[in-house]
Amino acid sequence: MSLSPSPLDEFTLPESWQGVLAGETEKPYFRQLAEFVAGEREANQVFPPSGEVFSALRATPYGQVKVLLLGQDPYHDDNQAHGMCFSVKRGVRIPPSLRNVYKELLADLGVPAPDHGNLQAWADQGVLLLNAVLTVRAHEANSHKGKGWETFTDAVIRAVNDQPDPVVFVLWGGYAKKKLPLIDTSRHVVVQGAHPSPLSARLFLGSRPFSQVDKALADLGREPIDWRLPA
């Protein structure tokens, strides 16, 4: 007789993060969150797909984080969310926020936009593409807000803050800026700005966040990011 899968199966963290987040995964809220997401998957369509919820943590191992870019909520339309903030899989239409990110990347560093929205190449270089909430019901923005994800991702931010090497935290928009108290600004660098969504794009465009990040990394004695994305 085969055992039915536990709701916690999907919530197994990538190995490099297990030690630093062990205290969180043993707390009652984490099991409740796992059970909530499992129930949502049974009753509704949930993004990102099972197995991709912790893509950001898998793509950027704990000891390799150089930059933490904080998003809010996963994309909620079909085939968009794959577990990394602002990123979509190849072949998926580039969302408006990411189009504005690409516009600013061109204006700031002269890096042309690729024909896709997959930011894996940034993650591979140590850019942790973390959303504050890691799942969402299909076509219902913020539908998994306040269910426990924020507690968990605050712990991820604290874990990165506790790394021995200094990190650059990128906080775009009012929601992300509320996480500033979790960051030791005497050790780490924070790059703040408007959110790249169409609602605040006029404030985001011209803010030059990419050159700010690279200067901060250089000042910290760390390699800058190659922001070019392969075609």
Question: What angle do helix axes 28-43 and 149-161 make, rounded to 10 degrees?
Answer: 130
What does each C-alpha distance from 184 to 56, 158, 161 come to in angstroms?
Answer: 22, 9, 7
Rounded to the nearest 5 degrees, what angle is found at the Cα of 36, between the Cα atoms of 34 and 40? 115
CA-based radius of gyration for the chain: 17
Which residues carry out catalysis? 73
CB 66 within 8 A of CB 222: yes
CB 83 within 8 A of CB 134: yes
Residues whose CB falls within 8 Å of the CB of residue 120, separated by 6 or more in sequence, listed in order: 59, 84, 87
Q: How many CB atoms lie within 10 A of CB 198?
A: 13
